[in-house]
Amino acid sequence: MEKPLFLYALCGSQRKASTNRRLLEALRDNAPDGVAIEISKLIGELPIFNPDREGEKTPAIVEALAAKIRSADGIIVACPEYAHGLPGGLKNALDWLVSRDEVPFKPVMIAHASHRGDFALEQLTEVLRTMSLRVVDEAFLRISLLGKADDAQAATLADFSENERLSTAIAEFRDAISGGRVDFQAEQRS
């Protein structure tokens, strides 16, 4: 049997009741066969990025995050918008990865749990592209849970589970990763 595709998900909200984490959980629970999704628990535990602590001085928790990223076939990011920007915690996690070799060319799917937040989405895309990650536009998924009570969020996600929008988004990302691997190897050879 083929090894399952491993997707590592980064949630930019540390809130217990985060709608973005809930969307990631729904994606995880609706992932098609052969795809495993793990939601990172490390982002909120990272120290503030400091270039003086790179190389041999890199904190163990940053190495743990980097190892997860290295082992992942793709990354999923879901984050809220804070003051028309990216949440600091997520940007901090990304900053730790900028100078390392785990992220370049790693495929990324962006998911978003709000009908607002376009500034953050634009900044996220710019930051990820600047870090040489490969943002898969076709896999972008926006399902607004903002302002909905707990049961209304559950009902919305149940609808998107039933109409297979959640599983289809992951399948699109999976297909882009599988196709992209070949293209990237061809690019490397030429």
Ligand X SMILES: Cc1cc2nc3c(=O)[nH]c(=O)nc-3n(C[C@H](O)[C@H](O)[C@H](O)COP(=O)(O)O)c2cc1C
Q: Which is nearer to ligand X, 18 or 30 (CB)?
A: 18
- Rule CB under 6 A: which of 95-134 touch ligand X? 113-114, 116-117
Burial class (CB in 10 A: 0-12, 13-18, 19+), 131: middle
Tokens of 22: 């809930």
- Cβ 83 to ligand X, closest distance in Å? 5
- Rule CB under 6 A: which of 30-69 touch ligand X? none
Residue keyed to tokens 């990865």? 97
Residues 146, 154, 168, 171: which binds ligand X (CB under 6 A)?
Answer: 146
CA–CA dist 55, 164 (Å, integer) = 44
Nearest alpha-carbon partner for 157 in 40, 28, 8: 28
Interface map 67-86 toward ligand X (x if CB under 6 A): -------------xxxxx--
The residue ranges that bind ligand X (CB under 6 A) are: 13, 15, 18-20, 80-84, 113-114, 116-117, 146
